[in-house]
Amino acid sequence: MKFSLFVHMERSDPSIPHRRLFDELEELALTAEAAGFETVWIGEHHAMEFTIAPNPFIQLAHLAARTSTIRLGTGNVVAPFWNPIRLAGEAAMMDVACNGRLDLGVARGAYAFEYERMLPGLDAMGAGQRMRELVPAVKKLWEGDYAHEGQFWSFPTSTASPKPVQAGGPPVWIAARDPNSHDFAVESGCNVQVTPLAAGDGEVVSLMERFNTAVANHPEVPRPKIMLLQHTFVTDSEAETQALSQDLSDFYCLFGAWFANKRPIQQAIMEPLTAEECAAYPQYAPDIVRKNVVLGQPEEVIARLKDYEAQGFDQFSIWIDGGISHARKKKSLDLFIRHVMPAFEPAYA
C-alpha cells in the first residue's frame, strides 16, 4: 500500500495572507515527495475559504516545477463544472507540464452551495449523470477525432490539444460511494477513490465490499486501483490526541454546516458553530471522531493502516486539512514519515 497526501489551502482567519497558505501547501508537498509519497492530491472548490482550490491544475502546475518524482493528482475536479474539451485539453497540458505525472481524479461534487453558484438548478443526481457522460468523452478526446452528441454536451469532431504524455492519457480516478458509482468506475476502466469521512472502519469495510462487487461484476476489466482517503494525524501524547479530537470535531461540524447550506457566509467564510449548533451533529462528537478517523500515537496509526492494507487498498491518502495550524500539520506529517512509514515494507522501510 502506497501513501499520498490530500491537501488544500484553508483559512477561517481573513488576516492570514493567501500567499502564505500557498507557500505552506508547497512545503507540505515537498516534504511528502522527499519521503517517497506516491501522489499529492488537490481538489476543486469555489467561493469558500473552507477549502481554497478554484482550479487544481494551477497549484499542481506550480508543484510540477518544484518536484520531480511525486505524482500530481486532482482530488477532484467537479465534473458538471467542466466542458469535456476543456478538461481533456487542460489535463493533457498539465500532463505535459509535469512530464507524465498527472492523475485525473473526477467527482460529481457534494456541496449544494457550489451547485447553486456554478450551475443553478443542479442536484446530486444531475451532477452524477454529467460525470458519467464527461469521463468517457474526455478519454475519447485524448485519442482524438471524436464527435459527441450527448444529453449535456454536443460538439463536432475534436481532439485534445496538446496530447497527454502518458500513453492512453493520465489514469482517471472516480470518487465513488454508492454501488452504482463503483460499477461505473470499474466498467469504465477507472481507478476508485473512497472516503468514509468520519463514519469509521465499518464504512471502510462497506466501501471495499462495493468495490469488490463491482470488480466481480466486470471480469472483462483488469482490476483497477482503489485509494482510501482518511483524516490522519500522528501525535506524541494522549493529551495531543484529545486536543486534535476536539479540533477535528469542530472541523466536521463546520463541514456539516457547509453541506447543509443554511448558515450565512461572509467573505467566503462561515463563522464557527456554537456549542449548541455542534450538538446537532452527534456523529461528529470528539469521542466519535477520536474513534473513527486515524488519530493517535504511531503504534495505533500503524495498526489501523495495516488493517486497510490487508483489506486490499492500493493507496492510503492522508487528508491533512482540518482547520489546524500549519505547524501542527507539519509535526503530524513528520511523525508519520519517521515512525509510521518504516513499518510498511518494502516500499518505505
Please report the pLDDT score of residue 348 as a whole number. Answer: 63
Beta strands at 2-6 and 102-107: parallel, antiparallel or unpaired: unpaired
Cα 45 to Cα 52, 55, 109, 139, 183, distances in angstroms: 6, 8, 9, 23, 26
Interval 285-318: pLDDT, tens: 999 999 999 999 999 999 999 999 999 999 999 9
Per cent of the chain over pLDDT 90 is: 99
Q: Is 79 helix (H, G, I), strand (E, B) or coil?
A: helix
How large is the average pLDDT for residues 211-227? 98
Distance CA 249, CA 56 (A): 27
How large is the average pLDDT for residues 315-328? 97
The three cell numbers of residue 53 are: 482550490
Per cent of the chain over pLDDT 70 is: 99
pLDDT over 80 (residue 97): yes
Q: At what angle do helices 56-66 and 84-97 cross, to 10 degrees?
A: 10
Per-residue confidence band for 345, with pLDDT thresholds at 50, 70 and 90: confident
How large is the average pLDDT for residues 163-169? 97
Alpha carbon 130 to its chain's center:
19
The three cell numbers of residue 175 are: 470518487
Please report the pLDDT score of residue 349 as a whole number. Answer: 57
Interval 22-75: pLDDT, tens: 999 999 999 999 999 999 999 999 999 999 999 999 999 999 999 999 999 999
Q: Are 252 and 216 in contact (CB under 8 A)?
A: no
Please report the pLDDT score of residue 86 as a whole number. Answer: 98
Q: For residues 306, 311, 317 and 320, what is the CA-based torsion angle, rounded to 10 degrees?
A: -60
pLDDT over 90 (residue 347): no
pLDDT over 70 (residue 131): yes
Interval 30-40: pLDDT, tens: 999 999 999 99
pTM for the model: 0.97
Please report the pLDDT score of residue 7 as a whole number. Answer: 98
Cα 177 to Cα 21, 70, 109, 126, distances in angstroms: 30, 27, 12, 16
pLDDT over 90 (residue 102): yes
Q: Are 40 and 5 in contact (CB under 8 A)?
A: yes
Per-residue confidence band for 2, with pLDDT thresholds at 50, 70 and 90: very high
Beta strands at 146-149 and 154-158: parallel, antiparallel or unpaired: antiparallel
Per-residue confidence band for 98, with pLDDT thresholds at 50, 70 and 90: very high
The three cell numbers of residue 344 are: 510498511
How large is the average pLDDT for residues 238-248? 97
How large is the average pLDDT for residues 276-289? 97
Q: Is 289 helix (H, G, I), strand (E, B) or coil?
A: helix
Q: Is 63 helix (H, G, I), strand (E, B) or coil?
A: helix
Chain mean pLDDT for the chain = 97
pLDDT over 80 (residue 346): no
